[in-house]
Amino acid sequence: MDKTRPIVILKKKGGHGGHHGGAWKAAYADFVTAMMALFIVLWLLNSSKQVQEAVGGYFKDPTGTSKKVGSNMVGSGENFTLTRDNMPKLKEQLQMAMKQMTDFEKLKSHIEMTVTTEGLRIELSASASGTFFDSGSAKLRGDGSQMLITLAQELGGLPNKLSIEGHTDSQPYSSATYGNWELSSDRANAARRVMQANGVRADQVTQVRGFADQRLRKPESPADPANRRISLIVQYIVKNNDDDDSKSAPGENKNGGDKTASPQEKPAAKE
């Protein structure tokens, strides 16, 4: 019997090409990421200044170990406590925050920060045309409100207590029932209300004091507009090794009472 080898015919099935790998997935993921970044940038450009500063503060300090910039949330700065040792750090942070204000160049000559036995004193003084208040008025102007809001957002997260003082010059006041004592107290309270509405805690302000013209900034020139000012004092948190005398602010007795004379003890005057 004649035997022949079988003929094997191979047929290839038609269809799509073979597997091309997953490179397209990586390219698509990069595209989606780029689009998301674009949308975030566009959102930030249309967001408020406060939101922009808060986002910037996160990237400067993603671990959250330092004070969060631009946040008005209670407790945002709990990791920072003002003592005699680190006071320059707070002063630098406040200066950086205020420089972000639109009208800072116009206002910087009316802002002064100094270290005192009470803590960090922030002086907001007036000019002849009125910087923070109109003459004879306790109503805050726009620049004054914005400055206090900026400070409130920075100071509201600190555990330190605050004192707010109002001062006037020695110009006589026309009203017989309302004078410099009332005006200085009303201005200090106006500053307190703005700050407590924008980050400062309700229990953070321990004193609101009106000194009329009794603590002039320029005693040699009692009518100088620089004597009209609001003072914010960020009080030290006293360490155990600090002197007991530093626990009481000048003009305050050991029980927290204010030694300042009352409006009845001082005749009315005009700013």
229-235, strands of its sheet edge to edge: 111-115, 119-125, 229-235, 162-167, 205-210
Residue 146 has a pLDDT of 86
In what helix (H) or strand (E) does residue 180 lie, and over which residues does it extend?
Answer: helix 180-196
Report residues of the chain scoring pLDDT below 50.
65-79, 242-271
- Using alpha carbons, select from 205, 228, 233 the residue that is nearest to residue 215: 228
The SS3 assignment for 188 reads helix
For the CA atoms of 74, 77, 80, 84, the dihedral, rounded to the nearest 10 degrees, stands at -70
pLDDT at 56: 75
- Tens digits of residue pLDDT in 133-155: 877 888 888 878 888 998 998 89
Helix axis angle, 87-99 relative to 142-155, nearest 10°? 140
pTM for the full predicted model: 0.57
pLDDT in tens, 151-205: 998 899 888 999 999 999 888 877 778 899 999 999 999 999 999 999 999 899 9
Domains of the chain: 82-239+248-265 (3.30.1330.60)
CA atoms within 13 A on the CB side of 31: 6
pLDDT of residue 78: 45
